[in-house]
Amino acid sequence: MLRHSFSHKGIPFPAEIYDPETIDFVGNHFQVLDDDTFTVTYPKSGTNWMMEILSLIWQQGDPSWCRSVPIWDRSPWLESPNALEKLKSAKPPRRISSHLPIQLFPKSFWGSKAKVIYTVRNPKDLLVSLYHFSKLMSFLEEPESLEELLGAFLQGEVLYGSWFDHVKGWLGLRGRENFFCISYEELQEDLRGSVGRICRFLGKDLSDAALASVVQNASFQAMRDNPMANFSLMPDNILDKSKGSFLRKGVVGDWKNHFTVAQSERFGRAYRERMQDLAGTFPWD
CB-CB contact of 131 with 143 (8 Å): yes
Ordered DSSP codes for the chain: -BSSEEEETTEEEETTT--HHHHHHHHHT----TT-EEEEE-TTSSHHHHHHHHHHHHTTT--HHHHHS-HHHHS-BTTSHHHHHHHHTPPSSPEEEE---GGGS-GGGGGS--EEEEEE--HHHHHHHHHHHHHHBTTBPPPS-HHHHHHHHHHT-STTS-HHHHHHHHHTTTT-TTEEEEEHHHHHH-HHHHHHHHHHHHT----HHHHHHHHHHTSHHHHHH-TTTSSTTS-TTTB-GGG--SS----S-GGGGT--HHHHHHHHHHHHHHSGGGTT-STT-
Nearer CB in complex with ligand PPS: 178/219: 219
CB-CB contact of 105 with 98 (8 Å): yes
Instruction: Work out how close the CB of 262 gets to ligand PPS at its nearest, in angstroms, rounded to a whole number.
Output: 22
Footprint of ligand PPS (CB under 6 A): 41, 43-49, 125, 129, 132, 218-220, 223, 247-250, 254
Nearer CB in complex with ligand PPS: 33/84: 84
Instruction: Work out how close the CB of 224 gets to ligand PPS at its nearest, in angstroms, rounded to a whole number.
Output: 8
Of the CA atoms within 13 Å of residue 172, those in its CB half-sphere come to 9
Instruction: Work out how close the CB of 89 gets to ligand PPS at its nearest, in angstroms, rounded to a whole number.
Output: 24
Which residue type does 102 have?
Answer: I
Instruction: Work out how close the CB of 42 gets to ligand PPS at its nearest, in angstroms, rounded to a whole number.
Output: 8
DSSP strand pairing (5-8 vs 11-14): antiparallel
Nearer CB in complex with ligand PPS: 80/129: 129
Nearer CB in complex with ligand PPS: 114/247: 247
Instruction: Work out how close the CB of 38 gets to ligand PPS at its nearest, in angstroms, rounded to a whole number.
Output: 14
Instruction: Work out how close the CB of 79 gets to ligand PPS at its nearest, in angstroms, rounded to a whole number.
Output: 12
Among this protein's residues, is 29 annotated catalytic?
no
Q: Out of 8, 99, 132, 166, pick the active-site residue.
A: 99
- Rounded Cα distance between 169 and 165, Å, is 6
For the annotated catalytic residues, the residue numbers are 99
